[in-house]
Amino acid sequence: MQLHLSAKFLVSLWIPKSVAVGLVRFSDARVLGMIKNHALQKGDVLAVARVAGIMAVKNTSIMVPLAHNNVAVEGCSIDLSLIEPDDEDAAIVSQALEQQIGSCGGLKIQVICESTGKTGVEMEAMCGVVGAALTVVDMCKSVDKDITITDVKTIGKKGGKSGDWGIFAKE
């Protein structure tokens, strides 16, 4: 099941867009299977993490005191991808995020935020990643006490004073 905050705005407007990513690394091999089978006591980890990510995006100015208040986030997409330790994509994800996946697997989080406001939405995208990641830790900590959140970063921004950069640089 995918949950998204709908993007409803006029295409002709200036639309700031930011993409942030992060990685959650597991230290207990049981966690991946338990997430897949919805076997963790607190419920469906991926569904709750998506909702938490959207809530974090919408509450960025509360978590980051000097971030702009009430940024008009018009669209938000939260993508959560489980990564098996022996997955062929694990090496690619690991290299892109500059981190080892490890022998117990992990979870890649990507948040894309769009706005019709006059400011970028980098902080909103990064807060979405952190909110989703912290929720995964909270829901899995009964099984894995050493979960690590790593490599949270903005990988691209479109629009704004600094122009397009990262993954949007060549669009």
Catalytically active residues are 138
* 170 Cα distance to chain centroid: 23
Task: Name residue 26's amino acid.
Answer: F
Tokens representing residue 78 in the block: 């939260």
DSSP tag of 27: S
Q: Which of 83, 80, 63 is closest to 132 using CA atoms?
A: 80
Q: Are strands 148-158 and 165-166 parallel, antiparallel or unpaired?
A: antiparallel
Q: What is the SS3 assignment for 170? A: coil
Tokens representing residue 90 in the block: 């694990």
Tokens representing residue 121 in the block: 């939405």
Q: In which residue are the tokens 């959140």 written?
A: 149
